[in-house]
């Protein structure tokens, strides 16, 4: 007996609506350069957590699939991945620095509810020096951009 | 007499993360150029900045929109464009609807109806650049809100 249903070709393997890389190649090239620049100087484990959390908040299936697989491949635990959606209730699983970064990730991702509160910013600033904090903001911003491309073009999980 | 506080940013972002500005600007310029409609671009840039509450970006793009010849009325009504459809073309309305859907992902997805409405007015290349422009202004919005960039203070 299997617990994993066969993917429904009508739903699970839809085609993307449009290919950004093909139709806007200069934009795509700049985005790849931006992505490489954004993660510089940051702990790779933290980078994965931030990318996964932003992708959860923005509901990007393609991005979740990609970044969870990357995180797992680089040794992240299954537990820390699946608790990420409720990290504030699972504080023991994340360092104070990671929690500060996750709070900032949520604030910068959900601008529609209003601003990035001083408390959230200061909490991050207490754990990250200025260059690191700037990189962290750049990282959060860049994954938000990939989330927008992924969701808008309806990219299929697992089919990069 | 009123005193205005100019304030300073929380962080000198572009100096502290020196590798970010150029690729971000490149993506933005390529997106705007590929869209090929500066008036539409400014409407999109203002609407996204309204939704994301980016004061610095609003100030910059409202001024750019005025320079591009967009009427004060069309700028002011943008916040309620769906109630002021007489002021925007069908193509502009389709782009604004897409701007809102792509900007507010947290409420869930980009509906087929919104996507198809845009696809009916823009060819694939234009649409890819429109999506790109919505995405790049969302990036500027995030950076400038996060670092609390003072209005008129330059990027």
**Domain for residue B127, yes or no?**
yes
**Domain for residue B25, yes or no?**
no
Using one digit for the tens of pLDDT, what is the confidence trace for B47-104?
A: 999 999 999 999 999 999 999 999 999 999 999 999 999 999 999 999 999 999 999 9
CATH label of the domain that carries residue B126? 1.20.1290.10
Using one digit for the tens of pLDDT, what is the confidence trace for A37-80?
A: 999 999 999 999 999 999 999 999 999 999 999 999 999 999 99
Task: Round to whole Å and give the CA distance between B14 and B144.
Answer: 11
Contact assignment for B31 to A27 by CB distance below 8 Å:
yes
Task: Round to whole Å and give the CA distance between B96 and B93.
Answer: 5
Question: A16: buried, middle or exposed (CB in 10 Å: 19+, 13-18, 0-12)?
Answer: middle
Number of Cβ pairs < 8 A linking chain A and chain B: 159
Domains and CATH numbers, chain A: 24-152 (1.20.1290.10)
**Domain for residue B81, yes or no?**
yes
**Domain for residue B68, yes or no?**
yes
**DSSP code of B57?**
H
Count, in order, helices (H) and strands (E) of chain A. 8, 0
Contact assignment for A134 to B17 by CB distance below 8 Å:
yes
In this prediction, what percent of chain B has a pLDDT beyond 70? 94
Q: What distance in Å separates residue A75's CA from the closest CA in chain B?
A: 28
**Which residues of chain B have a CB within 8 Å of the CB of A20?**
128, 131-132
Average pLDDT, chain A: 93
Confidence of residue B117 (pLDDT cuts 50, 70, 90): very high
Average pLDDT, chain B: 94
Q: Could you say which of A114, A115, A145 has the minimum Cβ distance to residue B138? A: A145
For chain B, the domain total comes to 1
Q: Token pair for residue A23?
A: 């139709």
**Domain for residue B79, yes or no?**
yes
Extract the residue ranges of chain A whose pLDDT is less than 50: 1-2, 9-10
Q: Token pair for residue A47?
A: 């980078």
Using one digit for the tens of pLDDT, what is the confidence trace for B34-61?
A: 999 999 999 999 999 999 999 999 999 9
Backbone angles phi, psi at A94, to 5 degrees: -130, 140
Task: Round to whole Å and give the CA distance between B127 and A60.
Answer: 20
**Domain for residue B83, yes or no?**
yes
**Domain for residue B94, yes or no?**
yes
Task: Round to whole Å and give the CA distance between A67 and A55.
Answer: 9
Q: Please say whether the dihedral angle defined by the alpha carbons of residues A99, A101, A106 and A111, taken in this order, is positive or negative.
A: positive
**DSSP code of A87?**
G
**Is B4's pLDDT higher than 90?**
no
**Domain for residue B49, yes or no?**
yes
What range does the domain containing B92 cover? 35-146
């Amino acid at each position: 007996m299997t617990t994993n249903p066969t993917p429904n070709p009508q739903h699970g393997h839809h085609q993307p609506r449009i290919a950004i890389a093909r139709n806007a190649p200069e934009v795509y090239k700049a985005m790849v350069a931006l992505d490489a620049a954004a993660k510089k100087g940051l702990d790779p484990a933290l980078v994965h957590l931030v990318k996964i959390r932003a992708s959860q908040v923005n509901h990007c299936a393609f991005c979740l699939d990609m970044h969870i697989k990357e995180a797992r491949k680089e040794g992240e635990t299954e537990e820390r991945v699946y608790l990420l959606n409720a990290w504030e209730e699972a504080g023991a699983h994340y360092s104070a620095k990671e929690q500060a970064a996750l709070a900032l990730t949520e604030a910068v991702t959900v601008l529609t509810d209003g601003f990035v509160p001083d408390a959230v910013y200061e909490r991050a600033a207490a754990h990250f020096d200025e260059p690191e904090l700037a990189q962290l903001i750049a990282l959060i911003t860049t994954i938000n951009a990939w989330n927008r491309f992924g969701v808008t073009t309806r990219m299929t999980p697992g089919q990069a | 007499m009123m005193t205005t506080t100019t304030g300073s940013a929380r962080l000198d972002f572009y100096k502290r993360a020196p590798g970010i500005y150029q690729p971000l600007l490149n993506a933005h310029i390529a997106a705007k150029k590929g869209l090929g409609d500066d008036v539409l671009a400014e409407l999109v840039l203002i609407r996204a900045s309204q939704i994301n509450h980016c004061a610095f970006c609003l100030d910059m793009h409202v001024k750019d929109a005025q320079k591009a010849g967009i009427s004060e009325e069309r700028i002011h009504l943008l916040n309620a464009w769906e109630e002021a459809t007489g002021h925007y073309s069908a193509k502009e309305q389709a782009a604004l609807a897409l701007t809102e859907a792509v900007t507010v992902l947290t409420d869930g997805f980009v509906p087929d109806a919104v996507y198809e409405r845009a696809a009916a007015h823009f060819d694939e290349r234009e649409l890819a650049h429109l999506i790109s422009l919505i995405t790049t202004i969302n990036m500027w919005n995030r950076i400038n809100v996060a670092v609390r960039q003072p209005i008129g203070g330059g990027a």
